[in-house]
């Protein structure tokens, strides 16, 4: 492995900052989710949240998409809305009680993707920012032991229909056979980032080219292998390029 060489200066992401005196009745929101027959999509950045949200709402989620911030200010939720906590998994940094309570609804869906690809997607959009905080989010997810339904957005084609079946079973919605078959067949890229050379370097395992671009991110990922590899294996991953780097 090539060592770090003059990493470009990039900003650290500003994490969700919630003061110690900040409180919210997560139990009330969890009850609202069940009462509204809503789905809850908790996502780490660039792991496929909009793939899941579009799948649910295009297939009959009459309430559309509701962002968590809006739901926290509302007195109720629209029927069959898809509630989206885009930074939800980063909330474990400062508000560890939120996710267990919300996931206990049994309606929580968490999209998962190769962490390195997630960081590469974010780098494609924000090349001047650092992305190693995503590793911390994955570690938090792995250690949280949440009662959720995971969906691998980068799963093998043979697993796609079963993955979608698990999602609709969790939320209890009937999205129709045609929608299920079409989505599993097309497996569309939703809100995808642009193709950049670094993505191809990763797939080709050209670490000598990738390291100068994302060295801190790779370093963080390798340090997290003892936690992340068993977790990802439990979700069906067999081998990712960084496991044996």
Query: Which tens digit of pLDDT belongs to each residue from 39-61?
Result: 999 888 899 999 999 999 987 66
- Give the closest residue to 57 by CA, choosing from 69, 46, 65: 65
Q: Is the pTM of this model over 0.75?
A: yes
Cα–Cα distance measured from residue 112 to residue 95, given in angstroms and rounded to the nearest whole number: 21
- Predicted confidence (pLDDT) at residue 212 exceeds the cutoff of 70: yes
Mean pLDDT of 24-28: 80
Cα–Cα distance measured from residue 25 to residue 29, given in angstroms and rounded to the nearest whole number: 7
- Between residues 13 and 182, which one has the greater pLDDT? 182
| pLDDT for the residue 58 | 86
| pLDDT for the residue 97 | 62
The phi and psi torsions of 9 (rounded to 5 degrees) equal -75, 125
| pLDDT for the residue 152 | 97
| pLDDT for the residue 9 | 40
In the chain, what percentage of residues exceed pLDDT 70? 83
* Residue 4 pLDDT level (bands cut at 50, 70, 90): very low
Burial 31-41 (b: 16+ CB within 10 A, else e): ebbeebbbbbb
- Between residues 57 and 76, which one has the greater pLDDT? 57
Of 83-87, 111-115, 217-221, the poorest mean pLDDT is in: 83-87
- Between residues 209 and 26, which one has the greater pLDDT? 209
Query: 26-244: which CATH number, 1.10.3470, 3.40.50, 3.30.410, 1.20.1050?
Result: 3.40.50
| pLDDT for the residue 14 | 30
Cα–Cα distance measured from residue 25 to residue 141, given in angstroms and rounded to the nearest whole number: 22
- Give the closest residue to 36 by CA, choosing from 76, 68, 85: 76
Query: Which tens digit of pLDDT belongs to each residue from 133-162?
Result: 899 889 888 988 788 999 999 999 999 999
* Residue 205 pLDDT level (bands cut at 50, 70, 90): very high
What is the residue-wise DSSP string for the chain? -PPP-SPPP-BPP------TT----HHHHHHHHHHTT-EEEE--TTSSHHHHHHHHHHTT-TT-EEEHHHHHHSSS--TT-EEEETTGGGGGGT-TTHHHHHHTTS-EEEEE--HHHHHHHHHHH-TTB--THHHHHHHHHHHH----EEEETT--GGGHHHHHHHHHHHHT----HHHHHHHHHH----SPPPP-HHHHHHHTT-HHHHHHHHHHHHHHHHHTHHHHHHHHHHTT----GGGG-
């Amino acid at each position: 492995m090539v060592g770090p060489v003059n990493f470009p200066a990039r900003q650290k992401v500003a994490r969700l900052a919630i003061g110690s005196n900040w409180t919210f009745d997560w139990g009330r929101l969890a009850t609202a989710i069940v009462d509204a027959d809503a789905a809850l999509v908790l996502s780490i950045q660039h792991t496929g949240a909009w793939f899941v949200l579009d799948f649910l709402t295009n297939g009959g989620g009459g309430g559309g998409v509701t962002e968590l911030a809006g739901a926290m200010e509302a007195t109720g939720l629209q029927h069959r809305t898809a509630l989206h906590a885009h930074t939800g998994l980063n909330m474990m940094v400062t508000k560890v009680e939120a996710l267990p309570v919300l996931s206990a609804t049994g309606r929580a869906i968490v999209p998962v993707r190769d962490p390195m690809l997630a960081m590469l997607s974010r780098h494609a959009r924000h090349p001047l920012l650092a992305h190693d905080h995503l590793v911390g989010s994955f570690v938090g997810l792995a250690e949280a032991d949440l009662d959720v339904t995971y969906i691998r957005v980068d799963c093998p084609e043979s697993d796609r229909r079963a993955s979608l079946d698990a999602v609709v079973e969790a939320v209890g919605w009937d999205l129709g056979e045609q929608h299920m078959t079409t989505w599993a067949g097309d497996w569309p890229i939703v809100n995808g980032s642009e193709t950049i050379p670094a993505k191809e370097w990763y797939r080709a395992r050209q670490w000598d080219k990738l390291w100068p671009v994302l060295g801190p991110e790779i370093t963080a990922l390798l340090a997290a292998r003892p936690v992340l590899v068993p977790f990802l294996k439990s979700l069906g991953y067999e081998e990712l390029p960084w496991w044996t780097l």
